[in-house]
Amino acid sequence: MQKATNIVWHAAHVTPEQRQAVTRVNPAVLWLTGLSGCGKSTLAMALEDRLIERGHLAYVLDGDNVRHGLNKNLGFSDEDRQENIRRIGEVAKLFISAGVMAITSFISPFRQDREAVRTLVGPGAFIEIYVDAPLDVCESRDPKGLYKKARAAMAAGKGMAFTGIDSPYEPPVIPEIHVHSDRQSVEQCAEQVMAYLQQHGHLLPVADLAAPGGGRA
């Protein structure tokens, strides 16, 4: 709901093409979704590394990190989860408007919320990446000890609204990219994504900085 009044949109003077000439990407939101412990953050960091190493500007928006700042006033009710995703969708849209590849790592359990971000950023600019691993595998990893806490809370008759345990996860129906982190290495998952970006024109040629006149001493 729009609450602000007496506001006017100011058009930018710099075009998307001018920004792309600087950042060397046809930017998109790489939206990593999956259960806690499936490997979203690990894959997101691996993708950022590869893009930066190849001369493309990229930035990871991590679910936990965002909740330390921008979204620190939100909890884990369904309503707060929806607002969490709405806000990060708006932030990701700003990133790609600036010519930066936005890599997001959020459980984002509800399909309608992910589809709302897809509509927000526009056709071709939202790449849903389903980081798929069975619940038992994610629970066996339990990197933050959250599954253990959720199971204990349930045993005590209390709820944590923890995705996969006492709160639902709605997997993507037709994601642009589907990786299986229980049987693919991080490197294999990252290369699958990089291949998609290359094939779909998201990675623009980068000048060889080591070439004569390239600016490297």
Asked if 67 contacts 84 with a C-beta cutoff of 8 angstroms, the reply is yes
Put residue 113 in one of left, alpha, beta given phi > 0 → left and psi -120 to 50 → alpha: alpha
How many C-beta atoms lie closer than 10 Å to residue 91's C-beta? 16
Active-site hit among 41, 105, 108, 181:
108
Whether 108 sits among the annotated catalytic residues: the reply is yes
Among 206, 193, 148, smallest CA distance to 29 is for 193
The residues that are catalytic are: 108
